[in-house]
Each structure stands twice: as C-alpha cells, then as structure tokens.
Amino acid sequence: MGFVSLLVFLPFIGGTLIGVAYLAHLKGFKISQKIFSLLAIWAPLASAYLGAKLFLAVYNDPASAITVKVFQWIEVGDFTINLSFYVDSLSALMTLFVTFIAALIHIYSIGYMNKDEGFAKFFAYMNLFLGSMLMLVLADNPILMFMGWEGVGACSYLLIAFYYKDKANVKAGNKAFIINRIGDFGFVVGMLTLYVVVGKYGFDFASLKANAFLIPEYTIWFITLFLFVGAAGKSAQIPLYTWLPDAMAGPTPVSALIHAATMVTAGVYMVARFSFLYAEVPAVGELIAYVGAFTALVAAIIATKQTDIKKILAYSTMSQLGYMFIAVGIGAYSTGIFHVFTHAFFKALLFLGAGAVIYALHHEQNIFKMNNLKSLKIVYFPMLIATLAIAGIPPFAGFFSKDEILLNTFASGHFLIYAMALITAGLTSYYMFRLFFLTFHNREKSHAHIEQPPLIMTSILVILSVGSVFAGFAGLPEIFGGSNFIKSFLSHSLVYKAEFAHVSHSLEYILMALAIGISLAGIFVAYKRFFRYKEQSELKENALVVAIKNKFFVDEMYERAFVVPLVNTSRFIYGYLDRVIIYKIVQNSAVALNRVSHFYGRVFQNGDVKWYLVYMLGAIAAIAIYLEGLINV
C-alpha cells in the first residue's frame, strides 16, 4: 500500500513543477503550451491509475483498514501527529472517483483553457488542489485532514480569483476564503476539544473511534456541533453558503471540479468520517438534517429565478448538498456518500456541459439569451442525461441515491424533512429543465456563430454521460434485485446507530412513484413554460419574485450585520480609542507626573530633542563613571 503516499504527493509535485516552469516562462524562458499540457496532466492521470489500484485492493478486502505512515509530522509533549494515510472503504471510494473525475476535468481543461495566458498557472493550482483534496480524504488524523481542508480552500481561492484583474473576481475569492475560515473556526474548536478529551490516547481516526466511549455525551455535543460549523462552511450550507454562487467567477472547469464534484462535498465526507461521534448524538444529527433540508429547499427556490447558467448550477449544487446532509443527519451515512458519488458524475457533467455551451456561445452565460443549441448534439445529449439524472428520473444516477435519501428520511420518521425534500425534488426538475429548454430549445433558429467545442472537451462529456447513467447501479436497492454494493462496502468504515423503521416493498414502490411523479410534474411545468419561450427574460415580476431573484437579500443583510460593523469598529479603534482615549490617558499621566516634579520639568523638559540626547549621554557617562568607581573599590 506504499503507493498511497505517491498517489497524494504526485499532484503536489506536478503542481510545483508546472508552477516553477510557469515562472520561468514569465521571465523569458518560453515554454510551449503542449509541454505545459503534458506537465499538467501526468500527475492527475497517475493518481487516477493509483486511485483505481487502491480501490481494487480495498474492494477485495473491504474489512481491513490500513494505515500508511510517511513520517512523524509534529511531536510536542504528548501531542504526536503523523503524516500518514488511512485507507478504508470510505476513503478508497472517495479517492476512486475524486481522482477519476479530476483527471477527466484536467483533460477537458486543456481544451477549455486553450490560449489563455494563465494556462500553466491554472493547471498548477488545479494540481495542487487535487493533492490537497486527496490529503483531506486519505488523512489518518483530523489535523492532517485539516491540512487538506485548508489546502483545498486556498486553491479554491486562487482559482476563483484566477482572473484577478477584475475586482469582482477577487472579491468573490476573498468571500469564499473568509467565509470558509469562519467555518474552519468551528473545525478547529471541535478538533482541538476532541484532542483535549481523548487525544492523548492517540489522535488518529482508528484510535479515536476506539476511545469515543470515553467522551462524556455533552462534550460530544459540543464537538460535533462545532465540527458541523466547519462542514457547513465548506459545503455551503445555511448560513455559510453565500460564497458558493459568487465562486462561479472562476473558470468553468473549476466550478465543475471544486465547487461541485469534490471540494464542496468534503463537509459531508467529514461528518461521515466522524460518524462514530455523530452516531452518539442523534439530536445533533437531526439539527444537521434540518439545516440540510432547509438549505436544499431555499437553494432550489432561488435557482428557479436565476438567469446565469452557472449560478443556477451553483444553487443546484447547494441544494444537492442539502440532500446529502439530510442523509448524514438522520444517520444514513452511506446514503449520503452514495449521493456524493452519483452527484460527482452528473454535476461535473452539467458544469462541463455548461462550459461547452459557454465556449460555443463566446462567453454568453444568460440562459435567456442563448441560441437554439439543439444542433450541437455532442453537448445536447450529455446535458439531457445529466439533467435527467439530477431530476431523479430512473434509471439515471441521481434517481437511486436521491430515492434512497427520501426513503430513509421517511423511514426514520422525519416527515417534515421528507416533505421539504420532496418539494425540493419537484423544484429541482423544474429549474433544471427550465435551464435545459431555454438553452437548447427556445429559439427557432440560431442567430450567432456557434463555436464547435473541440474533441478534447466533448469526449469528456461522453465519458461522464456513461457515468451519469450507470453510477446509480453501484447502490441498486434490494427491490430491484440489487444488493446495494455501496452500503455494504461502506459499512466497514461507518458507524450506524440510527433506527430506521422497516418499510414494506409495496410502500417503497408507492414512495418511489410519488417522487418520480413529482419530478415529472416539475419537468412538465418547465416544458409548458419554456420549451417554446421567446422572450429575453422572465416577464412576471411581483414582490416575491423580486425577493427570490435577489436571493432574499441575504448578501445585503450580511453586509449590514457583519462587514460594516467590523470596518466601523476598526476605524473606531484606530481613530478614536488609540489616538484619543488611550493617548490622552498616557499624556495626562505624563503631565501629572510632570507637575509633581515641577522643578525637574522646568529645567529639563524644554522640548528640544538634542538636549534630551545630551542628558542621555550625560546619564550614560555618569553610570559609566560610577561603574568604574566600583571596579576600583
């Protein structure tokens, strides 16, 4: 298993190499784009190969978890942290699809970023991102996980602010980084509290799992709640979600890889990784499930009125992440990870398809201004498959995982959450098909020239289409004659304690039909409204629509509630507290001292700097003479 460390380190090496090459390139040592392309993809490809190899090894022996120690990282007193990797069924599955999708997106990006002046810089960041993501997934302890966690955040910042000459992009990057830092605050508080309680007996996941019983219940509450703050920041859950829609400022492949398929699901992964703690406190889980349900619903509502193709997809990501948190919240951890898995395929496909659309239309992102793109079959069909998948239409990938979430929510007795999730499902198929029809069907004829996306991009769409069709079969439920491979595979890594009522097969069919029916209804409404839509915008405007279009003014509220007060406090400290209050106190004490020693003051404090120097030299001379006197004694 020694190759695990290679798997993680290769993208870091690749990123550093291409970064150095890029700097050399900037300084006059010209390197062609072909060489940069090779430098860009060798590491992700090698990682994908090793990722598959790793998965196969674990697939053959899913019960055994292996730790690969590289070296001892930090050791102070009893605080010992290794740089080592933990391979079990959970991390192996994550590694498999993260490396696979990352490799595909790297290849796609060679076409998408063609002739961009930051071509090499882009791949340096993407490689570093992949390395960090793998470190996050394969980390053997929370501190190392945090290293990956922060690494992906930093790369996300760099890629959002990629076109940094534009102020809006850099602001979006800052917003992402700072809001994530607020989440990280929770992560650190939870993680270090955990250390203080049981870390002395070993701070790797295996030891923590074994010693979790030593932690008092209220401490688990505290730890899990704060860890979830971290997860909410990274996975864009309410109230820490506002950065994700803005993060679409980055190039589209970034949105596909980081802000859809991999990084944003890290929060879900983290909760699953800590399932041995979350399983002990169902009430915290319930809270998470409600946050997830609420996020899923609100994001879906906002998505119905957006006009930017990438923004819609961003809100849909947020909404799908909400589903995942419902699953892990109610204790169905493997179901949450199953949705992470299928979502990675169809959401990456949606973004890469959107990227192809944007490429074809010369950077047009408003779906109401898009031409009739039906003729572009190589984009049309993959996008249709992905849209069906996210809408939850069988047999596409999203159906199985989403249905499992709905079923488990129902079986766990959380009917309110179930209802919210069901409504979200209807909204999802509505806004996704609204996007689809407006992009591909609304015009009679195309007006502008359509730029044909190159093969290197479209071939990736085809590969991901296959995944979006078949990924769901990895968790084929029992009633379709499957054995739910994902669930049994992950059962070796996760801890289940939640109780799910038995649902009879007939009830399961009814629930399934209900979900499919609602999804179809959403598609039908979208079809009615937008299949032949001709206008350049949506016409109906009332107060509610305005509120939804403006994302319920949450950004503005945050600005008023947090940003403005912080800046004002800062000005108050510097302008008033420091310069007036404390300065006056100090000055007045000095004046008071001066008055006490009035005579001294009159003679010496004449305000002429050179005299002070004279006094000081005099004083030094006096001390020197005094000391000399002592020596002579």
Partner 1 sequence: MYEFLNSYILSFLIFFPFITGVLILILPISHKIGSFFAFLSSTIVLILGIYLFFDFQEISATQYREIFPVVPSYGINYMVGVDGVNLIILMIIATAFPALHLILKSQQKGYWANMLLMQSAFMAVILAEDLIFFYAAWEAMLLPVFLMIGVYGKSKDKPKAAMNMMYYTIFGSMFMFIAIVYIGELHFEQFGHYSFKITDLQNIVIDPNEAFWLFSAFMLAFAIKTPLFPFHMWMPEAYTKAPAGVTFALSAIASKVAVYAILRFVLPLFPEQFVLHSEFFVTLGLISMIYFGVAAVAQKDFKTILAYSSASHLGLIIAGVFALNIQSMVGSIYQVIAHAMTSGIMFLLVAKIARDLQTRDIRALGGLAVNAPIFALFFAIAMVSSVGLPGTNGFIGEILMILGLFELGVVYGFLGTFSIIIGAVYMFIIYRKAILQNTNSLTEKFTDLNKKEILAFLPPIIMIFVMGLYPKPFLKKIEPTIKMQYERFIAPNLEKRGK
Q: Which of 284, 288, 278, 276 is nearest to 322 (CA)?
A: 288
* Number of separate helices (H) and strands (E) present in the chain: 27, 2
Q: Which of 485, 504, 216 is nearest to 337 (CA)?
A: 485
6 in contact with partner 1 (CB under 8 A) = no
* Helix H or strand E segment including 421: helix 415-440
Peptide bond into 395 cis (omega under 30): yes
Task: Figure out which of the listed residues 38, 580, 582, 614 binds partner 1, where binding follows CB under 8 A.
Answer: 582
Q: Which of 393, 237, 389 is nearest to 326 (CA)?
A: 237
Work out how close the CB of 245 gets to partner 1 at its nearest, in angstroms, rounded to a whole number: 19
Task: Figure out which of the listed residues 178, 510, 545, 591 binds partner 1, where binding follows CB under 8 A.
Answer: 178
Work out how close the CB of 619 gets to partner 1 at its nearest, in angstroms, rounded to a whole number: 10
Task: Figure out which of the listed residues 539, 543, 596, 630 binds partner 1, where binding follows CB under 8 A.
Answer: 630
Q: Which are the contacts of 5, defined by CB distance < 8 A and separation ≥ 6? A: 68, 70, 85
80 in contact with partner 1 (CB under 8 A) = no
Q: How many Å apart are CA 391 and CA 380, to the nearest integer? A: 16
586 in contact with partner 1 (CB under 8 A) = yes
Strands 66-76 and 79-87: antiparallel
140 in contact with partner 1 (CB under 8 A) = no
Task: Figure out which of the listed residues 64, 536, 569, 588 binds partner 1, where binding follows CB under 8 A.
Answer: 569
* Helix H or strand E segment including 71: strand 66-76
609 in contact with partner 1 (CB under 8 A) = yes
Segment contacting partner 1 (CB under 8 A): 184-192, 343-351, 411-419, 469-477?
184-192
625 in contact with partner 1 (CB under 8 A) = no
3-state secondary structure of 76: strand
Amino acid at 420: M
Task: Figure out which of the listed residues 201, 571, 591, 625 binds partner 1, where binding follows CB under 8 A.
Answer: 571
151 in contact with partner 1 (CB under 8 A) = yes
**DSSP per-residue letters across 447-480:** -SPPPPPPHHHHHHHHHHHHHHHHGGGGG--GGG
- Binding to partner 1 (CB under 8 A) within 103-132 occurs at none
Task: Figure out which of the listed residues 63, 214, 590, 622 binds partner 1, where binding follows CB under 8 A.
Answer: 590
Cβ(142)–Cβ(212) below 8 Å: no
203 in contact with partner 1 (CB under 8 A) = no
CA angle 313, 270, 285 (to 5 degrees): 90
- Binding to partner 1 (CB under 8 A) within 23-52 occurs at 23, 26-27
604 in contact with partner 1 (CB under 8 A) = no
3-state secondary structure of 74: strand
164/509 with CB nearer partner 1: 164
497 in contact with partner 1 (CB under 8 A) = no
Q: Which two tokens stand for residue 374?
A: 């039906």
158/313 with CB nearer partner 1: 158
76 in contact with partner 1 (CB under 8 A) = yes
Q: How many Å apart are CA 613 and CA 601, to the nearest integer? A: 16
596 in contact with partner 1 (CB under 8 A) = no
79 in contact with partner 1 (CB under 8 A) = yes
Q: Which of 322, 499, 297 is nearest to 411 (CA)?
A: 499
Q: Which of 327, 462, 477 is nearest to 399 (CA)?
A: 477
Work out how close the CB of 252 gets to partner 1 at its nearest, in angstroms, rounded to a whole number: 21
75 in contact with partner 1 (CB under 8 A) = yes
615 in contact with partner 1 (CB under 8 A) = no
User: Which residues would be at the binding site for partner 1 (CB under 8 A)?
Assistant: 23, 26-27, 71-77, 79, 143, 146-147, 150-151, 154, 157, 161, 164-167, 170-171, 173-174, 177-178, 181-182, 184-185, 188-189, 192-193, 195-196, 566-567, 569-571, 573-574, 578, 582-583, 586, 590, 609, 612, 627, 630-631, 633
